[in-house]
Amino acid sequence: MWMKEPLVHFLVLGALVFALYSYIGPDAPADDEIVVSRGQQEHLVTAFTRTWQRPPTQAEFTGIVDDWIREEIAYREGQRLGLDSNDTIIRRRLRQKLEVLADEIVSMAEPGEEMLQEYLEDNIENYTLEPVYTLRQVFFNVDERGAAADQDAEQALLLLETDSVLTNPENLGDRLSLAHRQVRKTESELAALFGRDFAGNLVDLEAGKWQGPVLSGYGLHLVLVEEFVPGRPLTLEEAERDVRRDWDNQQRVKAIDTLYEEFRKDYTITIEPIADSDS
């Protein structure tokens, strides 16, 4: 059970490491106050603005200040553990080292099949096969036909319904750069080609008969769905590699967040107010 809870494992091991250090480490008390000065905040805003060519929003400002606090905590905790020996770019290297420790702890935790199955079910929207279509379409250019486009499409539909084996049905419509026949395309692939509205409406069409008109980003289409394979959720056997990777990533983020939350309890953090700041 211990190995199935990587965050508990991480915190217990971390507590032991720091307890040992406090026992054998130097007697000098650690500096437990972190002040984010006005000057530091202005520096962070300047760096952000230089990178993104705009000032940060309030949410972005809060994020970059919090990130600086994390870096400062990592720097101080790394120094306490003696991780700064022979490093030249100390602050960022120490933060990387502490976060690598979190990675190593997570890698020691091997999720069981039951845990992976639970993760799969909780995030099933990420592990679902899309519907797949093979279809033919006849295009009617609204820009060229104007108000008559809808009526023209309806008349062509009547013809297709009475002559379902028409050799070149696309000749009833207008030219389009996209292929008249789309073979085994997923819903998202069709959305990229024709637009989301077009792709989303396909599920309502009955396979084996001409229907429409269906609106796309180009105009109107008559559509014949030749083959439809419904979407379905993947099983753990099918998705295990991706599920395991995503579970590991989630545990890593949780471990790092928990690490900084625990460290942060040991510090008094002051963010100096900036008068009349738009940030």
Domains and their CATH numbers in the chain: 2-123+236-271 (no CATH), 129-232 (3.10.50.40)
- Average pLDDT for residues 122-132, to the nearest whole number? 94
- Average pLDDT for residues 163-182, to the nearest whole number? 85
- Tell me the angle at which helices 236-264 and 58-80 cross, rounded to the nearest 10 degrees: 80
Question: Is the pLDDT score of 28 beyond 70?
Answer: no
The predicted structure's pLDDT at residue 230: 93
The predicted structure's pLDDT at residue 13: 53
Sequence-separated (6 or more) residues with CB below 8 Å from residue 140:
149, 150, 152, 153, 156, 173, 174, 213, 219, 220, 221, 222
- Tell me the angle at which helices 6-24 and 236-264 cross, rounded to the nearest 10 degrees: 30
The predicted structure's pLDDT at residue 185: 96
The predicted structure's pLDDT at residue 108: 67
What are the C-alpha distances in Å from 180 to residues 1, 176, 220?
A: 57, 8, 13
- Mean pLDDT over the full length of the chain: 82
| pLDDT, tens only, 128-160 | 999 999 999 999 999 988 989 999 999 999 989
Of 18-27, 28-37, 81-90, the range with the highest mean pLDDT is 28-37
The predicted structure's pLDDT at residue 5: 54
Question: Is the pLDDT score of 95 beyond 80?
Answer: no
The predicted structure's pLDDT at residue 100: 73
Question: Is the pLDDT score of 205 beyond 50?
Answer: yes
The predicted structure's pLDDT at residue 122: 95
CA–chain centroid gap for 145, Å, is: 42
Predicted TM-score (pTM) of the model is 0.56
Question: Is the pLDDT score of 83 beyond 50?
Answer: yes
Tokens at residue 119, please?
């993760």
92 φψ region: left (φ > 0), alpha (ψ -120 to 50), beta (else): alpha
C-alpha angle 30-34-38 in degrees, rounded to nearest 5: 150
Phi, psi of 31 (to 5 degrees): -70, 115
215 φψ region: left (φ > 0), alpha (ψ -120 to 50), beta (else): beta
- Average pLDDT for residues 190-198, to the nearest whole number? 95
Question: Is the pLDDT score of 26 beyond 50?
Answer: no
- Average pLDDT for residues 222-236, to the nearest whole number? 95
Indicate the residue type of 100. Answer: V
| pLDDT, tens only, 230-261 | 999 999 999 999 999 999 888 888 888 887 88
More confident of the two residues 166 and 111: 111
The predicted structure's pLDDT at residue 6: 53
Please check whether residue 195 is in contact with residue 217, taking contact to mean a CB–CB distance below 8 angstroms: yes
Question: Is the pLDDT score of 21 beyond 80?
Answer: no
The predicted structure's pLDDT at residue 166: 67
